[in-house]
Amino acid sequence: MSAERGATGPVGVIGGVGPLATVYFMDKVVRLTQASRDQDHVDMVVLQHATIPDRTEYILGRSDDNPGPVMADDARTLERVGVSFIVVPCNTAHHFTAEVVNATSVPVLSIVDETIAEVVDHRPGTSVVGILATSGTLAAQVYQHAAQARGLQSVVPTDDEQAVVMRVIYDQVKAGQPADLVALRSVVDALVARGAQTIVLGCTELSVVADDAALLDDPLYVDSLDVLARRTIERTGRTVR
């Protein structure tokens, strides 16, 4: 369900997945909004729900704790507050979007669909995207399906390369440790060698890396958290800097 442009109520954020990525999302919304005073900024109601069960562990069958009903309850809570639309700054959580949509009448802005739309609309000539994401996101194939629906092919890391990506996401960013940029870049180089013309950062922990290391100065990358922040601002009728 799409969010209507020019929505007047606060934006509802199902956050905590992960906690740092949610804070970076809020920071991006503030920094990217064209504003000259407090009242020009976006109203947000944020549930920093860090104890939502791990999305990847459930998708891969390593946990019986289903995040879907928990996220659906959060959506109902946000609906009671009166939010105009809901965003979830987590790509792996996109696998459970249907449960969130079905739980309430509030529109949900899709981080995955908006990111692929960004590639199609603003990366002319791209026919193949490389996807960096959690193993859960890749297993659910949310980006592969979204890319295919827009006429794009996708390439993903090998098992060994994916182990590097997961180490960066879980052992480094989620654990509050520095990211191994050299190792991550080696995976990016491998995807480019296999035909990727644009690299989608399809995990919001990788968005944290991108922000800290200024990766978005390189037009090779499209960052899902950055895209979600920009589209959130636009849907409220405000202007992106």
Catalytic residue among 7, 21, 88, 90: 90
The Cα–Cα gap between 142 and 122 comes to 20
| Cα 177 to Cα 164: distance, rounded to the nearest angstrom | 15
Tokens of 113: 């669909």
Q: Could you identify the residue written with the tokens 């802005």?
A: 109
Report the alpha-carbon angle 151-218-154, nearest 5: 25
The secondary structure of 208-231, three-state, reads: HHHHHHCHHHCCCEEEHHHHHHHH
Can you state the percent helix, strand and coil of the chain, rounding each to 5?
Answer: 55, 15, 35
Which DSSP letter does residue 167 get?
I
90 in catalytic set: yes
Of 21, 87, 129, 203, which residue is the catalytic one? 203
Assess whether 203 carries a catalytic annotation: yes
Give the C-alpha separation, 58 to 157, whole Å: 21
The two structure tokens encoding residue 186: 């080696």
Q: State the catalytic residues.
A: 90, 203
